[in-house]
Amino acid sequence: MNHMEIKKINKTIEDKKIKLGIIGLGYVGLPLAVEFAKAGIETLGFEISKTKVQNINKGKSYIDDVPTQDVKKLALSDLLKATTKFLKLKKQDCIIICVPTPLRKSKDPDVSYIITATREITKTLRKGQIIIFESTTYPGTTRELVKPILEKTGLKAGKDFFLAFSPERVDPGNKIYTIRNTPKVVGGITSKCTKLATAVYKLVANKVIPVSNTETAEIVKLMENTFRAINIAMVNEFALMCNKLNLDIWEIIEAASSKPFGFMPFYPGPGIGGHCIPLDPHYLRWKMRALNFNPRFLELAMTINSQMPKYTTDRIAELLNDRKKPLSTSKILLIGLAYKSNITDHRESPARDVLTLLEKTGATVDYHDHYIPQAEIDGKKYKSVKLTMPILRKYDCVAIMTNHSNVDYKSIVKNSKLIFDARNALKDIKDKKIFKL
């Protein structure tokens, strides 16, 4: 495309006259679709789930961070719609892909969703379209995997259509940082791709940071979450050492945090959860192993973090044994199933792993989580139990896995026989039956 044609596309973006399509309306795609629609952009979501499509078109939200009233208002104004008909992608000026990128059992990246979405785009790809990926993946995915599939149409990236990558930075439950006030990183296959993708995101983000290429943008997300994973691993190992030294890791972190420079507090726990921090380092490890490079620091961090559910289980067993109560005949109540406080998401939650490990010993395990009324773990269905005085007293140990703010912790302390606090939720309560991570 010549300079005048590209200038025309940019003008269409600036005037908010572009038609935007988003493939995948989950934790990343729906909030993004709502933000573009709020900015006055005609937005169409593409989903294989008929239920999600029906909900959106009826004005109902199924994502905690997206209020139903927002979806309803935007659906009524026709700024936000959803469909299962992917041939409608042809009418979209810009298509953003927000599909899952899970790991296989071998811990290798599963890019099948990316490939499927890309192939759907090729069926209707036309000149002038802007294609942007947000799905977290390994460096090189956009150029080495996505670009060749799209170019099988005969159209060339950077010349006939524009291809870029912009890592999602969604933080479920965060009321302070949203799409609007979280800087957006964008990298394109060419400089023209970067400029057009940057113009698109400027419609919904206060600050957009263009980087030199797609590989840089891809690894930015991996660096952000690997940074967290490594620092969490360090503080988890400190927690293990402090247990051996009979010291309080939480008091130590608080004291260290008083230093106004050179220190950033991270906190230990029964493991790491969610769909980013436990998974993202594996994308990088897989890529580097393919290049005959062993990321030893990263490997160590993943090993430490993955062992925390087992350590948590062992600590509970140890505390029960001290009271002449074998774990195999004990009743345990886990407080919190979500991977972090005040959300409904329990993907990769360490509480799930702790529950499974405890049950393997023969223990009877239940959970309480106001945000998750029911859950299925390893094919077995569970229901959240109520926190009443008689119920609490029937358990041999209550273990706090997630520090939700809507829990009556004073009642737990008053009515429980033994408490293991893996999140420092009881930091302001002193009682001899409370034991910390």
Q: Which two tokens stand for residue 399?
A: 């273990």
Catalytic residue among 94, 98, 242, 276: 276
CA distances in angstroms from 53 to 33, 64, 225, 296, 368, listed in the order given: 13, 17, 31, 44, 31
In angstroms, the CA 197 to CA 242 distance is 48
In angstroms, the CA 192 to CA 371 distance is 45
Which helix (H) or strand (E) element contains residue 305?
helix 296-321
CA nearest to 199, candidates 38, 4, 2, 20: 20
In angstroms, the CA 344 to CA 322 distance is 35
Q: Is 276 a catalytic residue?
A: yes
Residue type, 234: M
Q: Do β-strands 94-97 and 130-133 pair in parallel, antiparallel, or remain unpaired?
A: parallel
Taking the alpha carbons at both ends of the chain, their separation in whole angstroms is 60
In angstroms, the CA 196 to CA 215 distance is 17
CA nearest to 228, candidates 175, 269, 191: 269
Active site amino acids:
276
